[in-house]
Amino acid sequence: MQTTCHLSLLVHEQAHKYGDAPALTFKHFGGDEWKTVSWNQFSLRVKQVSNALLNLGLKPQEKIAVFAQNCLQYLYTDMGAYGVRAVTIPFYATSSEQQIQFVVNDAQVRFIFVGEQEQYDKAHRVLNLCSSLERIVVFDRNVRISSHDPNTLYFDDFLKLGENLPRQSEVEKLWSEAKEDDLCNILYTSGTTGDSKGVMITYSQYHAALVSNAMCVPVNDSDRVISFLPFTHIFERAWSYLSLSVGAQLIINTNPHDIQTSMRQTHPTCMASVPRFWEKVYTGVKERMDSASPLQRKLFNRALEVGRKHNVQYLARGKRPPMALSLEYKLLNRTVLSMVRKQLGLENAHIFPTAGARVSPEVEEFVHAIGLNIMVGYGLTESVATVSCDHLDKPITLGSVGRIIPGLQLKIGENNEVLLKGPTITKGYYKRESLNATIFTEDGFFRTGDAGYMKDGELFLTERIKDLYKTSNGKYIAPQMIEALLLVDKYIDQVAVVADERKFVSALIVPEFRLLEEFAKAHSIDFSSREELCANHRVHAMMLERIRTLLQQLAPYEQIKRITILPHHFTMENGELTNTLKLRRPIILANYKELIDKMYEE
């Protein structure tokens, strides 16, 4: 049963309900051992944070920021701030000093909570450039604080300011005064164009989102939910709050690079992720099968085929599988597919919400076929994540982004734009009045910038309107669709499609270097550097052939004619990726202009 109180009270209400049952599983910074925190302990720490914030003089609706990887202290800080009606602003752990400085000054942040050494160093360097910033609080005790820094304290010492709850009566008074239309978060989106906008999210939006999502996302208090995406990301943030609201145990994965190891160690039942995670799983399993014996490959391919028929053609479409198929699936599921899930640490798999980019139907079918309930969805920061998702009690069509969650209105506007209205939709961007005047239609619908259509109750997205390319021949190209098709190839790690005002489609390809090097050695291709490997004409021919095969179902004008293989990745440091790893196309086009121009030479 979901607890639907004001977010400031959620942890305390759950402590009354679940007491000493485990609420959070975590590792200390740099630690190897998984530990647990009970709901009662969680509640006490949150109260201590609330008391400590009052002792530092924080007032209702003033701003604090959290600049850290996912960690135990992150949740304590957010929930403690909600308890005193403060506004929290999350930063990605990889944010630059320029981004930190801009947001702190824009929102007039008073305190910034940081995770590890990198975040502390950046925050310390901008401290004197931000007039509102008074204190830095450091989560990791191993961080070296500058000897000339009187404004920073460790989180342990910060908690001592709230020890014994000296101002709990004031905290409880603030609980009683908490309003649903109070500002809860400002989530600054880095944006693919580089513009940073602060999305305002109120407690009422969270309340509506949690209630609506609980109606169609069957996470429950038996689930063990592991965090993969950063809490900064609205998808992970709202999903984590939903999990806590139903009493699920949250497993906090601090280092995103450790996620597969963490999954095998903790055996979660649920996880929210982006499609790239499942693309990596798909290519990894295929790679292992490529090196397996002919008998093993035959057995695995048969298991996949049976899994596809049973889980996709029948169950996902709301149909009952024939008895013979069910019996064969039970056998192959127990002997083959369960081994795949065990390698992922998902022996007790329940549901896996997935959104943030286009999901390749090939990958979606594969995940269903191995017996995992991937729930594909679509959402925005401005809608507190979920707009639509697969409903497990209704037919699912591969390629759709599911059905609209209860409480939202959706209509298709000009240029097939998806328009939204409802209680989860933001009132606008922080201090961006001129922009706010343009983001809603005359009848109050929010303009998403995404094009799509409805069919049989499901939403299908076609392209990002602003990202559409128009070739010099007048044909429109949806680069994200083409890129999603290519990212299922085991040799491709990153890809940027080029077409705008060009006479044909080309692409910049970042290969999976380890596999490409193995290919070169297997085919006696000599190379002394990645640059030499990527420039090799046999490597180029192999990659182009694979790309043409992957895109053969597209229209001729959507086919990639030429490619350039890059010897290095697109990076956030070069401005080529947002914090959520989306391509910043204008910067990529500028950074690689010479290489792109060369692909169009006669």
pLDDT tens-digit readout, 436-475: 999 999 999 999 999 999 999 999 998 888 777 878 777 7
Q: Inform me whether the pLDDT recorded for 193 exceeds 80.
A: no
Which one has a higher pLDDT value, 582 or 372? 372
Q: Inform me whether the pLDDT recorded for 192 exceeds 60.
A: no
| Nearest-angstrom CA–CA distance, 450 and 452 | 7
If one counts every other C-beta atom within 10 angstroms of the C-beta of residue 166, the result is 14
Residue among 177, 179, 161, 182 nearest 50 (CA): 161
Query: What is the pLDDT at residue 34?
Result: 98
Tell me the mean pLDDT in the region 343-348: 95
Query: What is the pLDDT at residue 434?
Result: 92
- The one-letter amino acid code at 109 reads V
| Nearest-angstrom CA–CA distance, 251 and 515 | 32
CATH code for the domain defined by 7-23+37-178: 3.40.50.980
Query: What percent of the chain is predicted at pLDDT more than 90?
Result: 85
Q: Inform me whether the pLDDT recorded for 509 exceeds 90.
A: yes
For 102-157, the DSSP string reads: HHHHHHTEEEEEE-SHHHHHHHHHHGGG-TT--EEEES-TTS---TT-TTEEEHHH
Tell me the mean pLDDT in the region 417-422: 98
- Please, which residues have CB within 8 angstroms of residue 322's CB and are 6 or more apart in sequence? none
pLDDT tens-digit readout, 398-409: 999 999 999 999
Helices (H), ranges, 217-274: 234-245, 259-266
| Nearest-angstrom CA–CA distance, 211 and 407 | 9
Residues of the chain with CATH 3.30.300.30: 468-599
**How far, in whole angstroms, is CA 214 from its chain's centroid?**
19
User: How confident is residue 194, by pLDDT bands cut at 50, 70 and 90?
Assistant: low
Radius of gyration of the chain (CA): 25
Query: What is the pLDDT at residue 190?
Result: 66
Residue labelled with tokens 């304590």: 76
| Nearest-angstrom CA–CA distance, 471 and 491 | 27
303 burial class (0-12, 13-18, 19+ CB within 10 angstroms)? buried
Q: Is 415 helix (H, G, I), strand (E, B) or coil?
A: helix
Mean pLDDT of the chain: 94
**Please, what sign has the CA dihedral across residues 292, 297, 301, 302?**
negative
Residue 331 phi/psi, 5° resolution? -65, -50
Tell me the mean pLDDT in the region 278-297: 90
Helix (H) or strand (E) holding 53: helix 39-55
Query: What is the pLDDT at residue 476?
Result: 75
| Contact yes or no for 528/472 (Cβ under 8 A) | no
Angle at 146 between CA 145 and CA 147, to 5 degrees: 115
Query: What is the pLDDT at residue 191?
Result: 58
User: How confident is residue 186, by pLDDT bands cut at 50, 70 and 90?
Assistant: very high
Token representation of residue 492: 């491709």
| Contact yes or no for 181/203 (Cβ under 8 A) | yes
**Please, what sign has the CA dihedral across residues 2, 383, 235, 176?**
negative
Query: What is the pLDDT at residue 135?
Result: 97
- The one-letter amino acid code at 423 reads P
| Nearest-angstrom CA–CA distance, 108 and 102 | 10
Q: 114-123, 420-429, 476-485, 525-534: lowest mean pLDDT where? A: 476-485
Whether this prediction's pTM lies above 0.85 is answered by yes
| Contact yes or no for 251/332 (Cβ under 8 A) | no
Query: What is the pLDDT at residue 545?
Result: 95
* β-bridge partners, 549: none
pLDDT tens-digit readout, 224-275: 999 999 999 999 999 999 999 999 999 999 998 899 999 999 999 999 999 9
Query: What is the pLDDT at residue 195?
Result: 59
| Nearest-angstrom CA–CA distance, 126 and 190 | 19
User: How confident is residue 98, by pLDDT bands cut at 50, 70 and 90?
Assistant: confident
Which one has a higher pLDDT value, 144 or 586? 144
pLDDT tens-digit readout, 555-591: 888 999 999 999 999 998 888 988 778 888 889 999 9
pLDDT tens-digit readout, 151-171: 999 999 999 999 999 999 999
Q: Is 566 helix (H, G, I), strand (E, B) or coil?
A: coil
Residues of the chain with CATH 3.40.50.980: 7-23+37-178
Q: Is 198 helix (H, G, I), strand (E, B) or coil?
A: strand
**What fold is seen in the domain 468-599?**
GMP Synthetase; Chain A, domain 3 (3.30.300)
Tell me the mean pLDDT in the region 585-598: 93
Query: What is the pLDDT at residue 76?
Result: 98
